[in-house]
Structure 1
């Protein structure tokens, strides 16, 4: 397969194209035993031997997909009862054995990252990384400034008495129902729904609109997906850091 060095290394999880370009200039990349400082050089993965910082790179292409998850589909690779988000992919994407990064509830919609990059998935979901996730939410009862303050301070979830990290609650429309945006830094089971339960409210509609630097492409209809652009992929790789 013929591919640019920076794209090959980026797809293999070694960093963003910008980072790889910098490393190439520092002499970290070898092609067939010779230092290669031009990261945009096209190589043949079936013939050329590429080393990064002394490590031989075995190219296994990563894929990065953005899906507008529909309601009624589960965020899993397989399920005995329900259709999964992987079932919505074409064979050419399923070939790479991708998986959803994190979960959206069966009845929730919106942004879902699907990839086979395990390190990226781990870093995006790690509590230590505090990656922001923003949701468009409709709730049955009126949302108040007291709720905004409660979310900022962290609320205690029912059942397990877990106190959430501070979250941002932005009221878009107050009434019955209310519309708001919620940004959290963690991903507990049914967290947004349970946070509203903690302030005696009920989520009636939930849609994730962003995860870290990645924003939902509003031109995607529910159930549709597309490959990330190079800029979107780079922004995620830079968010996770290296190592």
Structure 2
């Protein structure tokens, strides 16, 4: 969470006093004077000392294996949401999904109360790689791989950034592949394959940056991030 918000919540520090704390070097993160009020911190990753007092955060991080038919939203009048997949006691009011998945798409979703982290993971400048398993209703060839590497151009003229396409199995009726990309345009993968003359019939996200869908997460289940997974995200906390 934001460092200044943490200090305000736990020490009830007025705004002027907060400014003085930063100006006089009384705020330490991992033993170093921190001057950025908006610095994103988590006490499971950082030692946070303010005027000699150690502060603790209480952010929440869940990995969900989203099933098909579930919408990536907090509320929906017609469909089950990713929040509905959680046990009632885990439905933290500040939770939100990092990176949208279409209702008919299965796969990895990060649910967190740490809005700054979510923003960093989705910001184009961070170039966070996302991996998908795809099934299409026709053949895939080396020409398709080359087109993905060059950057697919949609029918409306929109140009995608270069993406990786690894063909795992190809036949005239159905093919399986892995797609790696750093963008998140609306229905992007489906549109990319339509440009190449095939239709996506199954789509599953298996990774977001260092976070990977693991065997211990069956469809429809979730778990808290392991400590090593949280540590793998430390570069997105600055």
| TM over 0.5, shorter chain | yes
* 8 Å contact kept, 1:132–1:183: yes
Matched, 1:166 2:162: yes
* 8 Å contact kept, 1:63–1:96: no
Q: Work out which of the residue numbers 49, 62, 66 in structure 2 matches 1:30.
A: 49
Q: CA deviation at 1:17?
A: 5.7
CA offsets, 1:23-50, max 9 Å, x none? x6xxxx536x33xxxxxxxxxxxxxx43
Q: CA separation in 2, counterparts of 1:30 and 1:115?
A: 24
CA offsets, 1:43-98, max 9 Å, x none? xxxxxx43xxxxxx5x5511111011000000111112111010111122113431
Q: CA separation in 1, counterparts of 2:128 and 2:88?
A: 31
The answer for unaligned runs of 5 or more in structure 2 is: 1-28, 31-38
Matched, 1:141 2:168: no
Q: CA separation in 2, counterparts of 1:94 and 1:202?
A: 36
**TM-score between the two structures when normalised by the length of structure 2:** 0.79
Q: CA separation in 1, counterparts of 2:191 and 2:96?
A: 25
Aligned length: 201
Q: CA separation in 2, counterparts of 1:61 and 1:16?
A: 8
Matched, 1:14 2:41: yes
Partner of 1:187, secondary structure, is coil
Structure 1 outlier segments of 4+, above 2 Å: 15-18
Partner of 1:220, secondary structure, is coil
- Alignment RMSD (CA, Å): 2.1
Q: What's the counterpart of residue 204 of structure 2?
A: 207
The answer for unaligned runs of 5 or more in structure 1 is: 7-11, 35-48, 51-56
**TM-score between the two structures when normalised by the length of structure 1:** 0.77
Q: CA separation in 1, counterparts of 2:225 and 2:92?
A: 17
Q: CA deviation at 1:16?
A: 8.3
Matched, 1:103 2:130: no
CA offsets, 1:133-181, max 9 Å, x none? 000000001011000000000011234x210000000000011200000
